[in-house]
């Protein structure tokens, strides 16, 4: 049986042994683990809420991809920008968006950062420079590239991290963005989260190359492929890419080979995947791998995990209560922040029919 993404050192069941020896200190390693666990706890709760019908729409969980989600964003500063996709809801956790506002967004409440406009999966937060994702795949990359250009023009050392799935590399926007960044040496890192499937289409039917990272060669930027389930490997590669971007070295393409443990979304049973493949990747769960890595150095225990989980669940309870007790956005507010006040009033008062065009008694239309 062919296993999706089994191409980086056969994707081991443990975190990189090569990173031992003091390269990452104990506090940092524990932070990486704690953030991965928090992302998992939050998304599993969201999946439960969706199944209970507590919020509408759909949700695209990154469960199984936490090593990439965390390792790629842990070192970002408040002034740095994240350009997320629909699957990167937890980028808000990494940048520090308040959890109650994140859940207000899921529920489409007026208290959400976008006042209920883009729920549930397109969550951005302007105060921390998180771009609101769009339904158009890869659209966030061109916006992120523009922000990187602005940072360079303003002689700032800010960086942009643009996240997307491997399916985005089939779109012109992806190629245009990385080409533009390569030509102008922009401070942006393109992180391709290669989870093996563009919705239901396997990677082998998207491209003839084994590593998406080689596509960087066409645009004159470094391309690096790592085990996306190894948080130490992702973090280490990302730190180098961020340092390069901040120092004026330009863009990097980082491919993280990982796997989503569930379907494309909460309404996708993922029957297109071989059950044996799913089990293979469950054995390579990034959180379990990190636990095995930390335990020999007494940096992890089951008790500590339970304490963290308890803290996260209490925080979640408060965030959910805030969202569920917050008012929903009103329909007549949809045009706020879109049009000027005068145009908004005109649109709200517009009639849906013209008095000059009425239906006669015989059902025909007459002009008066």
Please determine, for residue 347, whether its predicted confidence score (pLDDT) is greater than 70. no
Please determine, for residue 278, whether its predicted confidence score (pLDDT) is greater than 70. yes
- CATH number of the domain at 17-364, please? 3.40.50.970
Q: Where are the domains of the chain?
A: 17-364
| 96/322 Cα distance (integer angstroms) | 17
Percent of the chain with pLDDT over 70: 87
Instruction: Please check whether residue 320 is in contact with residue 49, taking contact to mean a CB–CB distance below 8 angstroms.
Output: yes
Question: Tell me, what's the pLDDT at 311?
Answer: 98
| 167/275 Cα distance (integer angstroms) | 22
| CA 336 to the chain's CA centroid | 27
Whose CA is closest to 74, among 28, 38, 118? Answer: 28
Residue range 293-301: average pLDDT?
97
| 149/184 Cα distance (integer angstroms) | 8
Tell me what the pLDDT averaged over the chain comes to. Answer: 90
Indicate the pLDDT class of residue 13, thresholds 50, 70 and 90.
low
280-292 pLDDT, tens per residue? 999 999 999 999 9
């Amino acid at each position: 049986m062919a296993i999706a993404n089994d191409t980086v050192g056969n994707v081991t069941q443990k975190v990189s042994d090569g990173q031992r020896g003091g390269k990452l200190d104990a506090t940092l390693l524990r932070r990486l683990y704690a953030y991965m666990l928090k992302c998992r706890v939050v998304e599993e709760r969201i999946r439960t809420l969706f199944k209970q019908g507590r919020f509408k729409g759909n949700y695209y969980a990154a469960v199984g991809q936490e090593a990439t989600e965390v390792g790629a964003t842990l070192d970002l500063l408040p002034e740095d920008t994240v350009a997320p996709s629909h699957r990167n809801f937890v980028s808000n956790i990494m940048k520090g968006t308040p959890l109650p506002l994140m859940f207000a967004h899921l529920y489409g409440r007026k208290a959400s950062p976008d006042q209920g406009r883009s729920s549930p999966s397109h969550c951005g937060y302007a105060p921390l420079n998180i771009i609101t994702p769009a339904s158009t795949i890869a659209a966030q990359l061109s916006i992120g590239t523009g922000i990187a250009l602005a940072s360079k023009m303003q002689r700032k050392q800010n960086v942009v991290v643009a996240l997307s799935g491997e399916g985005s590399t089939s779109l012109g926007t992806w190629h245009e963005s990385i080409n533009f960044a390569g030509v102008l040496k922009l401070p942006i890192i393109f992180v391709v989260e290669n989870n093996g499937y563009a919705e239901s289409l396997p990677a082998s039917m998207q491209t003839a190359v084994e590593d998406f990272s080689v596509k960087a060669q066409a645009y004159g930027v470094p391309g690096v492929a790592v085990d996306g389930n190894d948080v130490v490997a992702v973090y280490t590669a990302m730190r180098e890419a961020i340092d390069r971007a901040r120092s004026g070295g330009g863009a990097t393409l980082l491919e993280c080979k990982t796997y989503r443990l569930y379907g494309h979304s909460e309404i996708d049973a993922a029957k297109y995947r071989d059950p044996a493949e799913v089990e293979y990747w469950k054995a390579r769960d990034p959180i379990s791998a990190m636990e095995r890595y930390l335990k020999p150095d007494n940096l992890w225990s089951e008790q500590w995990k339970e304490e963290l989980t308890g803290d996260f669940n209490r925080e979640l309870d408060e965030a959910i209560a805030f969202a569920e007790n917050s008012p929903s956005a009103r329909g007549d507010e949809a045009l706020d922040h879109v049009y000027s006040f005068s145009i908004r009033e005109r649109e709200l008062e517009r009639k849906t029919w013209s008095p000059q065009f009425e239906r006669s008694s015989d059902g025909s239309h007459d002009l008066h």
